[in-house]
Chains A and B, each alone.
Chain A
């Protein structure tokens, strides 16, 4: 007989890479709040990777921008480096949805960076995971 952990692994056992997009939207540390907003809008994403070229120095999200506005930061004089999260949580592209959900809970983050062979290949958000749960468990509202 399977244990509850094994059953959960079966249910959420598909790789998190299935939830990430084709590209990762990026911003440099020097970009100001307006430019970050431009990049979020252009990429239709909720978070950006901050760093020069392929470097990954932090993550900036829509919510970080709202927090900066709440703190009365000047959008033209405040840059990504000032507001980015630098304590990054990574997972392997082969990690399962359930494993990444646990990482989010453990580290209390909304976004996890996905790597494959040492290279950043995507970002997965709590909302992405939630959508996956719902798709698997299936709404029965009709």
Chain B
């Protein structure tokens, strides 16, 4: 199985000069918990909902602080066509919860530990799929996300 085939939703990106508040709004609108930080088509970082809480709010950063001030970098990436087993290996070796999926160095999606757990669990337990799909990841009223527009 290719990694790209396990990606459950379109990747959502934001530019590094956008603000912490912008990032929160994009996450909320898109129903995702992590955004790629993309500068002129170059992937430069990743920011999660947890980063906004722990690196921005807990540190009293102003909400108009640049989002790249709270992002994680460098980003651990995996090629879209890589075997999914390679993703398991990267999660194990890098202690991260998410990998950026790239094709020819361009960001195309995000895959999380949770995505992989869903596949593992759902293969054997129908119960896991609705729990994860409906409760863990999605916002009830969120549309399918698209890449955030340029700001």
Chain A nearest CB, measured from B3 CB (Å): 12
Interface residues of A in 100-142 (CB under 8 A from B): 101-102, 104-105, 108-110, 126-127, 129-131, 133-134, 137-142
Give the interface centre of B28, B33, B130 by most chain A CB atoms within 10 Å.
B28
- CB neighbours of A33 from chain B (8 A): 57
- Asked whether, in the complex, the Cβ of A137 is within 8 Å of the Cβ of B135, the reply is no
Residues of B close to A105: CB separation below 8 A: 130-131, 134-135
Q: How many A-B residue pairs have CB under 8 A?
A: 117
Indicate if the CB atoms of A141 and B88 lie closer than 8 Å: yes
> For chain B, which range describes its interface: under 10, 10 to 19, 20 to 34, or 35 or more residues?
35 or more
Contacts of B54 in A (CB 8 A): 37, 40-41
Query: Chain B residues near A86 (CB, 8 Å)?
Result: none
Residues of B within 8 A of A72 (CB): 21, 63
Contacts of B123 in A (CB 8 A): 137
Are A37 and B131 neighbours in the complex by a CB distance under 8 Å?
no
| Interface residues in chain B, defined as those with a beta carbon under 8 Å from any beta carbon in chain A | 20-21, 24-25, 27-29, 33, 49-50, 52-54, 56-58, 60, 63, 84-85, 88-89, 114, 116-118, 120-121, 123-125, 127-128, 130-132, 134-136, 140
Residues of A participating in the B interface, judged by any CB pair closer than 8 Å:
8, 11-12, 33-34, 36-38, 40-41, 46, 62-63, 65-67, 69-70, 72, 75, 98, 101-102, 104-105, 108-110, 126-127, 129-131, 133-134, 137-142
